[in-house]
């Protein structure tokens, strides 16, 4: 964004310097931040069960720093012909995640999931901020609490012993599979009648500015806010980095 709109923003760094910084950040994300594996697959007539394990390779919560950042699991199941059987966490060109309650409605947020059974459920690792009335906000000056914080924990982090300011909030606190260094989420997928060989594709995605953080700026009566929202719209389709991915082929489910 700084490179594309360098004239408007008065950027003095060279294009080469900006590109080098972006490449370094992307390299860090892709090689040293997180890992995703398909831990277990079981199929039977009418159902496919997939366990996805996500690991935090960083020494801090993932994602960290400014709370507009988010990491999520995108899982898709296809037949060998290419037809989609199930998909959770699809990224859309406007910068939103399909099925994410917060992207669809700024007053709501997507909960932490232990089990996902529908395509409108998605596992998103993120902080959700609340104001003094307990309402969802993206305004840092209105922030008084976390309504959700299920960012992936670093290895050795004991969530039940953590102090209030770095704690876990929401359903992740009661999820025993969400622990220091990793999380595991189960997908229970209903299969539509007879299906052939299935291909499971999972990926861990990162976005530095979530859709809601930009969208809320459109209502702010300031030229800077409107300008940023316009920049975001122009670049949102390319705002995601893949951290890790995994694939598994499954034979036709037994009758």
The tokens of 63 are what?
């994602």
pLDDT at 91: 98
- Helix, strand, coil percent content, the chain, rounded in steps of 5: 25, 35, 40
Look at residue 9 and tell me if it is in a domain: no
Distance between terminal CA atoms of the chain?
A: 53
pLDDT score for 217: 96
Cα distance between residue 65 and residue 208, in whole Å = 10
**Is residue 143 domain-resident?**
yes
| The two structure tokens encoding residue 239 | 């705002």
Range of the domain at 78: 33-250
- Position 27 in a domain: no
pLDDT one digit per residue (tens) for the chain, 255 residues: 999 999 999 999 999 999 999 999 999 999 999 999 999 999 988 999 999 999 999 999 999 999 999 999 999 999 988 999 999 999 999 999 999 999 999 999 999 999 999 999 999 999 999 999 999 999 999 999 999 999 999 999 999 999 999 999 999 999 999 999 999 999 999 998 888 999 999 999 999 999 999 999 999 999 999 999 999 999 999 999 999 999 999 998 876
In a domain, residue 1? The reply is no
Rounded CA separation 127/152 (Å) = 11
Total domains in the chain come to 1
Whole-angstrom distance, CA of residue 68 vs CA of residue 217: 13
Does any domain span residue 11? no
Q: What is the pTM of this model?
A: 0.97
The answer to whether 106 touches 121, Cβ cutoff 8 Å, is no
The verdict on residue 3 lying in a domain is: no
């Amino acid at each position: 964004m700084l490179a594309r709109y360098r004239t408007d923003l008065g950027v003095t760094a060279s294009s080469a310097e900006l590109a080098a910084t972006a490449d370094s950040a992307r390299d860090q994300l892709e090689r040293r931040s997180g890992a995703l594996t398909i831990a277990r697959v079981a199929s039977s007539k009418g159902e496919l069960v997939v366990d996805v394990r996500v690991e935090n390779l960083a020494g801090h919560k993932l994602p960290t720093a400014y709370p507009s950042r988010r990491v999520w699991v995108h899982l898709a199941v296809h037949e060998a012909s290419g037809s989609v059987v199930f998909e959770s966490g699809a990224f859309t060109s406007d910068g939103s995640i399909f099925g994410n309650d917060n992207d669809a409605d700024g007053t709501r947020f997507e909960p932490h999931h232990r089990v996902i059974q529908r395509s409108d459920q998605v596992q998103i690792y993120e902080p959700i901020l609340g104001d003094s009335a307990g309402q969802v906000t993206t305004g840092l000056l209105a922030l008084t609490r976390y309504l959700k914080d299920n960012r992936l924990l670093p290895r050795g982090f004991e969530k039940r012993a953590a102090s209030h300011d770095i704690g876990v909030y929401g359903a992740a606190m009661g999820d025993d599979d969400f622990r220091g260094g990793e999380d595991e989420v189960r997908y229970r997928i209903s299969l539509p009648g007879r299906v052939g060989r299935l291909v499971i594709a999972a990926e861990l995605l990162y976005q530095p500015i979530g859709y809601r953080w930009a969208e809320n700026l459109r209502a702010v009566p300031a030229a800077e806010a409107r300008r940023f929202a316009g920049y975001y719209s122009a670049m949102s389709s390319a705002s995601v980095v893949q951290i890790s991915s995994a694939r598994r082929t499954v034979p036709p489910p037994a009758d």
